[in-house]
Amino acid sequence: MKLTHISKIFFPNSLKEVKALVDINLTFEDGEFTTLSGESGSGKTTLLNIIGGLERPTSGSVFIDELELTALSDKQMADYRLRHIGFVFQAYNLISVLTVRENIGFIMKLLRYDEAKINKRIDELSGILQIEDILDKLPGQISGGQQQRVAVARAVASRPKLILADEPTANLDSKNGERLMKMLRSLNEKEHVTVIFASHDRYVLEQSKRIIVLEDGAVIEDR
């Protein structure tokens, strides 16, 4: 994946104009385990959203496998996200009226996977993420740590090329945060999925293979 000259301006040409990102140029190799870090307001979440097509840059381009995502229509981008990108949000965003099993299988159902394939993948992921005993419960009946693991299972269920995680440990205690990161690292290594976080959590940074630090919308460090 390649980002070229990405800039994002909110409220352009007004007194409220905010330069959220300034001329970002980055390349990500397949299978990376990377964190976008920086203080609040540094631009890390905006950059993550642009990579995932949830926001469009004011200027610049995002390429994945020679496909220019920033040139796609909204409908084409939505279809690409469904098929190739998994999201893990701070707020979990589970569907409250669906069981854990149904939440995990939701994207696969949208993609018209057959039932046997869906159930096999759910069983596989629930074992890795240690949620086998809650598959028939509703999100409101399980803990925050369990909900976040369900969100991870849903994100990786259809084997997307890319997982984007925005502050995934923010609502977890240290023990569950560490457990979640180890599980994501395991999925990254076993399935070679690219994982990009937006986070300033110390443990997330310690587990990352690459850290990109942003300040005032610009990359100031890449290690």
- For residue 119, the domain's CATH number is 3.40.50.300
Tokens of 55: 């926001």
The pLDDT value given to residue 48: 96
Order of all β-strands in the sheet with 59-64: 18-27, 2-10, 59-64, 67-68
User: Mean pLDDT throughout 146-174?
Assistant: 89
Q: Is residue 20 predicted with pLDDT exceeding 90?
A: yes
CA–CA gap between residue 86 and residue 34 (Å, rounded)? 15
The pLDDT value given to residue 137: 98
Number of H helices, E strands in the chain: 7, 10
| Number of domains making up the chain | 1
The pLDDT value given to residue 128: 82
The pLDDT value given to residue 34: 97
**Highest mean pLDDT (candidates 50-54, 87-91, 171-175):** 50-54
The pLDDT value given to residue 170: 82
Mean pLDDT of the chain: 93
Instruction: Tell me the three state secondary structure of residue 60.
Output: strand
- What residues make up the domain containing 170? 2-222
User: Mean pLDDT throughout 97-106?
Assistant: 97
